[in-house]
Structures are given as C-alpha cells and as structure tokens.
Amino acid sequence: IARPVRRHRAAQLRAVALLGVVAVACSAAAGTRASGRRAATASGPTAVQRGASMRTVRIALAENQSQVWLTSVGGWELFADDGRTAVALTKPGERWLLEREGTGIRAMREDSRPVSAREHTVIARPADTDGTIGVNGRRYRGDVVITATTDGLTVVNRVNMDDYLQGVVPLEIGTSAAADAAAVEAQAVSARSYAVTHLGSGGRLFDMRATVADQVYGGASAESGVGNRAVRATTGMVLQYGGKVVNAPYFSTCGGSTAEPQDVWRTGAEPYLRRVSDQIPGSTHFYCEGAPKYRWTRVFSRDELRESIGRYVRSLPGGGSVSTVRSVTVSDVTPAGRVSALTVESDRRAVILRGNEIRSALRLPSGEILYSTYFSVDAVVGRGEIESLTLRGGGNGHGVGMCQAGAIGRARAGQDFRTILRTYYPGTTVGTIE
C-alpha cells in the first residue's frame, strides 16, 4: 500500500489548480517508455549503451487498481507528472488514498475531504534522498508514479538501476549468508544484465513487472546487507557476448544439468546458453544437491490428474471437458534427460505437451505448476484410465542459464562470481557499463 504526505488545505487547493493546468500536457511524456518480461525467456544480445547502469528503471508494482494507499515515515510530496508542480506536501506517517476520478486522480488524506485533480498522472516523492514511499505495505526508493488508465490505476516505481537491484537480488537468490557472497554477486550481475536488455523494450508505462513475469522485486523492504554489498561490488557490471549485453536467464535448481532454450521455450539456440553439468569434478555429487527441490516426488490422484489435464485442454482451441485420462507417456527427452515431449491421451483427445508447457499443464489443484521437466512417469491404470500418476523428478524452474542453488554451492566451494558466471553462461565475459 502506498501513502503520500500533506500540507495545509489552502495550499493544497492552490497547488491542485496549478496542477490541473500543467499536468495534462506532460502526461503523454510519462507513457512513452516501455516494458519487459522475466529471466525465464532468452532473447538475443542487445547493443551496449554507455551510462545504462545509471539509467532509471520503471517497475510496475500494481495494475488496474481501484485505489492506492500511500504513506512515508519521513516527509514527502505529491507532484504533477512534470515532477515540479506540487499537489500536496504531507506530514510523516500520514496515509493518503488515491482513487481514479473520471480520467484523472483524486487524492485524500484519510481524515479529510478529497483534493480532486484533472491530472491523470501524479508522482509521490520522498523529501529526503534516502527516504522511501510506502505502497501496499512495502517501502520503495525513488519516485512512485500513479497513472489513471481506462482499467484503473497503474502504480510504477521509478528508481535508479542499483536501487532496483538491491530490491531484486535477495528475493531472487534467496540467501543472506556471508559465505554465499560470490553467488549473490553473480546474481547481481545476471539481474542487471536482464534489466538492461529490457529497458525501453515496449510501449507500456513501465519496463518490467515486480513479479516472476520479470524479476521479483520487493523494494527497500527486501534489501539485505549481503545483497546491497553485492550490488555495490558489481556496480555497472553486466554479462557480454561478442561485445553486447545479453539477457541472462536464471532459475532455482537444475537437479544435475541445465537446459537449452530451444528445449524449453522452443526458441532459437543461444551460444551462451548451452547445457552445463552441475556435477562436482571427481565426485558423484552435485553443487545444487543441497536445495529443497534437488529431488522431489509429485503424486496425482485420478481426480487431480483429470482436473489438471482438463484445465489445460479447455484452454486449447476447440476446448472441451475431460472425463478420463487414459495414458501419460514420455515421448521424447533432451540430451540432459529432461522431458521434451509428453503425450497425454484422454477421452476427449490426445495432446502432445512440449517444453515448458508440460509444467503448466501438470498443475496441482492449487494452481502450482510442476517443479521442472526433469522427471520419470509411473502410472497406475485401472478400468481404462489412470488411477494415480507419480512423477519422480529433480530441479525447480525452467532450467536455462544460471542454477541459483548451484551458484551457492560453487560459492561455498570457493569459486568467485566471475567463475560462476563463466560456467553457467559459456563464452560470456563480465564487462562494465559506465
């Protein structure tokens, strides 16, 4: 939830009148930059841009909201989208409610009458450069930009690249141990590379989302000492291949070997995203084997399997309901041993699932997708249908790029972040963007 700051009522009204004249002209400029998608898809390299490490990143915190609450521990102001014309100066700790009003936004301190504005974009900014704005219970550095759209309010955090990464790295790598610092530094470089390749990549109000659709981002509330030090230690550093910054996908646990993009997303191969073994040299063990999902078992009852496959079939052209699932068969595997094609026969139709869509199709009733495509199938069949289906597998995630659990294992074995990155992204180098 987000919250603004206040000032005297008369001053507010004067500012709003001025804001109504100025902000509409500025609103088009606020929407001319772009959007992206998570470290789950691999796109080709993009040209290195000088100064990109210091560029502003625009992260969508929420979309299509009917209202937004804002607050701040310190002082802050609400501005028009020109960033200069003040709408309101609040006091520390005050809560302000923003709601769409026609094509504009109205702002209201929780214990006062609303201040209406004709602007369709307003900016919440801390008075102190080290201050934060509270949105939905999380604190964010930089500006919080609220825009009225036809579907509601879109909330975007406009923040410096490294401040953004400080809110990404701890949530993505999942460790705060000092012994894992090299893995956290590798995560910082991968996340920065992903972000750089997604700046200005579309026509939306933001570059990336704060979810697994791009990189999970929790703002200042998610920061950690180890994460912040890793971001600072690698400031400006990105992965390059052939002199260009590359998209650097990563995931939780490989289970023994990483995958290649053509096997997962059925996209073109990338020279820096080749299959990599996570086996410890001279050993039968693997760097990622300490991870919770290094090995796993998932059992589907008859009804759970029918619901899971039925949900997927309904999403296909022609759709239809599924009454029975007759067979589930592995049709093809990748050189790394992952299932690349799974044939499912039901009373409705036979479908061949490929790559990452296998994980989406085999969901639990809760909606959780399958951990990975690295599994074996054991079906119990009775009276012409599967009574239960047991999958025994390894790993968690799409499998392309850096195995985060493996990176942690390598850091604990003494590898530095450059060695870790060279291993999971063969042929790349770590370069600096000034």
Domain ranges of the chain: 1-254+400-434, 296-393
Q: 184: which 2 tokens?
A: 């956290």
Q: Which residues, in sequence order, are CB contacts of 344 under 8 Å at separation 6+?
A: 309, 325, 327, 328, 329, 350, 351, 352, 353, 361
Closest CA to 229 of 183, 198, 193: 183
Residue 132 near residue 193 (C-beta atoms within 8 A): no
Closest CA to 428 of 257, 248, 263, 276: 248
Q: 102: which 2 tokens?
A: 């026609």
Residue 14, CA distances (Å) to 11, 95, 127 in order: 5, 21, 20
Q: Which residues, in sequence order, are CB contacts of 10 under 8 Å at separation 6+?
A: none
**CB-neighbour burial class of residue 303 (10 A; exposed 0-12, middle 13-18, buried 19+):** exposed
Report the predicted TM-score, pTM, of the whole model to 2 decimal places: 0.84
Give the model's pLDDT for residue 434: 64
pLDDT tens, the chain, 434 aa long: 333 333 333 333 333 333 332 233 333 333 333 333 344 445 455 544 445 557 889 999 999 999 999 998 888 889 988 989 888 778 888 889 999 988 889 888 877 766 666 678 999 999 888 999 999 889 999 999 999 999 999 999 999 999 999 999 999 999 889 999 999 999 999 999 999 999 986 779 999 999 999 999 999 999 999 999 999 999 999 999 999 999 999 999 999 999 999 999 989 999 999 999 999 999 999 999 999 999 999 999 999 999 999 998 888 887 778 899 999 999 999 998 999 999 999 988 889 999 999 999 999 888 899 999 999 999 999 989 999 999 999 999 999 999 999 999 999 999 999 999 999 999 999 998 76
Interstrand relation of 96-101 and 67-71 (parallel, antiparallel or unpaired): antiparallel
Give the model's pLDDT for residue 136: 84
Instruction: For residues 240 and 431, give the distance between their C-alpha atoms in angstroms, rounded to a whole number.
Output: 6
Give the model's pLDDT for residue 102: 84
Give the model's pLDDT for residue 209: 97
Q: 261: which 2 tokens?
A: 């993009």
Closest CA to 70 of 9, 136, 145, 19: 136
Compute φ and ψ for 121, nearest 5 degrees: -140, 130
Count of C-beta atoms within a 10 Å radius of residue 335: 11
If you compute the radius of gyration of the chain from its CA atoms, what whole number of angstroms results? Answer: 24
Give the model's pLDDT for residue 328: 96
Give the model's pLDDT for residue 113: 67
Interstrand relation of 96-101 and 86-90 (parallel, antiparallel or unpaired): unpaired
Give the model's pLDDT for residue 338: 95
**CB-neighbour burial class of residue 129 (10 A; exposed 0-12, middle 13-18, buried 19+):** exposed
Block residue for tokens 């501005």: 79
Closest CA to 258 of 141, 353, 173, 373: 373
